[in-house]
A and B are shown apart, each in its own frame.
Chain A
Amino acid sequence: GENVEQHPSTLSVQEGDSAVIKCTYSDSASNYFPWYKQELGKRPQLIIDIRSNVGEKKDQRIAVTLNKTAKHFSLHITETQPEDSAVYFCAATVSGSARQLTFGSGTQLTVLP
Chain B
Amino acid sequence: DAGVIQSPRHEVTEMGQEVTLRCKPISGHNSLFWYRQTMMRGLELLIYFNNNVPIDDSGMPEDRFSAKMPNASFSTLKIQPSEPRDSAVYFCASSFQRGIDTQYFGPGTRLTVL
Instruction: Tell me the minimal C-beta distance from B101 to chain A in angstroms.
Output: 5
**Closest beta carbon of chain A to B26's beta carbon, Å:** 13
**Could you tell me if B102 and A96 are in contact, using CB atoms closer than 8 angstroms?**
no
Interface assignment of B50: CB less than 8 Å from any CB of chain A? yes
Q: Quick check: which of B14-22, B60-68, B79-87, B103-111 contacts chain A, the rest being far away?
A: B103-111
* Contact indicator B105/A45 (Cβ below 8 Å): yes
Q: Judge whether B48 and A96 touch: CB under 8 Å.
A: no
Number of residues from B at the complex interface, CB < 8 A = 22
Q: Are B101's CB and A43's CB within 8 A?
A: no
Residues of chain A having any CB pair with chain B under 8 Å: 32, 34, 36, 42-46, 49, 89, 93, 95-96, 98, 100-101, 103, 105-106
Q: Is the beta-carbon distance between A106 and B43 smaller than 8 angstroms?
A: yes
- How close is B3's CB to chain A, nearest CB, in angstroms? 9
Residues of A within 8 A of B106 (CB): 43
Binding site of B, secondary structure by majority: helix, strand, loop or mixed?
A: strand
Apart from A46-B103, A96-B98, A106-B43, list 4 A-B contacts with CB within 8 A.
Answer: A98-B50, A100-B33, A100-B48, A105-B42
Query: Among the listed A36, A101, A106, which residue makes an inter-chain contact with B42, where contact means beta carbons less than 8 Å apart?
Result: A106
| Contact yes or no, A44 B43, CB < 8 A | yes
A89 contacts B43, CB within 8 Å?
yes
Is residue B114 contacting chain A, with contact meaning CB distance below 8 A? no
Residues on B close to A: CB < 8 A? 31, 33, 42-43, 45, 48, 50, 55-56, 91, 97-108
| A104 to B31 alpha-carbon distance, docked (Å) | 21
Using known A-B contacts A44-B105, A46-B104, A105-B42, determine if residue A98 contacts B91 with beta carbons closer than 8 Å: no
Q: Is the CB of A100 within 8 A of B42?
A: no
Cross-chain contact B101 with A95 (CB below 8 angstroms): yes
Other-chain residue from A43, A93, A105 in contact with B91 (beta carbon distance below 8 A): A43
Chain A contacts of B50 at CB under 8 A? 98
Q: How far is the CA of A43 from the CA of B107 in the complex (A)?
A: 5
Inter-chain CA distance A101–B59, complex, in Å, is: 13
In the assembly, what is the distance between CA of A43 and CA of B99, in Å?
A: 23
Q: Which of B31, B97, B101 has the most CB of A within 10 A?
A: B101
